Structure 1
Amino acid sequence: MLALEVVLLPVTDVDRALAFYTEKVGFALDVDYHPTAEFRVVQLTPPGSACSVQLVPADLPGGERNLYLVTTDLAAERAKLIDRGVAVSTVRHKNPVETWAGGWSEGLDPQRRDYASFADFADADGNTWTLQERGHRAS
């Protein structure tokens, strides 16, 4: 068995990124270990995830692209993020889903099929995240 447990996320300001991910995106703070001025470990976990991110200092912003956060309700998750002040793109879905070759249409997939609907956001350093819907069940 192999499990992805931690992804390193390069940021130019650890404190700013920590506030963004905990206050706006809703990640849980696991560790903020800072025994010296030169050494700090900050680890966060998205709600419901078994994989965490560690914020690591970087000289240049925008190191990671298209990290995926999977949700069962893309519309609700997008609304929560926007309410918290996160700039989230409009929702798009694969078109046509059955023979997808890179085409998109606006909005949620009308049938809410797995892996068909997406939206994106970025942190202040340009690390980009893709929200993807999987497992949606009509209420």
Structure 2
Amino acid sequence: MEWTLEVVPVPVADVERAKRFYGEQVGFAVDHDTRVDENVRIVQLTPPGSNCSIVIGMAEMEPGSLKGLQLVVPDIERARAQLLERGVEAGKVQHYEGAELVDGPGGAWNNFVRFSDPDGNQWVLQERPAGR
């Protein structure tokens, strides 16, 4: 039996603001935007190339409480540049030396960039080595 992770809820305070951030600034595809009633709106967005989506508008957590969601990219510098061009405050490329996170690129699977959404949910980009 296969078990696939398909949707991750992301807690946000303002669905419209989050939809603009993830859709327009980060570049996720808006899969659907459904208004259940006057108080409930659910938006599903998918990162380019991903089989897993995020959903905003239905998380049972405090906005900004999600930490460490990870996106894997083939080119960390290019991904960071895209975020910066779209107005997302993205950190420097960093890597781990032991338990310490230091500035600059590292080896295979050891290049990271961090950014947060307007509510403070924290994301990590990780570079996948070429050919993987």
The normalised TM-score by structure 2 is 0.90
Partner of 2:28: 27
Measure, in 2, the Cα distance between the counterparts of 1:88 and 1:64: 17
RMSD: 1.7
Q: How big is the shift at 1:104?
A: 3.0
1:47-126 → structure 2 map (5 Å cutoff): 47-56=48-57, 60-95=62-97, 101-109=98-106, 112-113=107-108, 115-126=109-120
The one-character-per-residue Cα deviations of 1:16-60 (angstroms, maximum 9, x if unpaired) are: 000000110000000101142123221000001000000026784
Measure, in 2, the Cα distance between the counterparts of 1:79 and 1:136: 19
Moved more, 60-69 or 44-53: 60-69
Identity fraction in percent: 44
2:49 partner SS? coil
Whichever residue aligns with residue 36 of structure 1, its letter is D
Contact 2:29 2:48 in 1 (8 A): yes
Q: How big is the shift at 1:88?
A: 0.4
1:66 partner SS? strand
Match of 1:127 among 104, 110, 121: 121
Equivalenced residue count is 129
Q: How big is the shift at 1:105?
A: 3.0
Contact 1:13 1:57 in 2 (8 A): no
- 5+ residue gaps, structure 2, are none
1:126 partner SS? coil
Measure, in 1, the Cα distance between the counterparts of 2:101 and 2:14: 35
Measure, in 1, the Cα distance between the counterparts of 2:75 and 2:54: 22
Partner of 1:136: 130
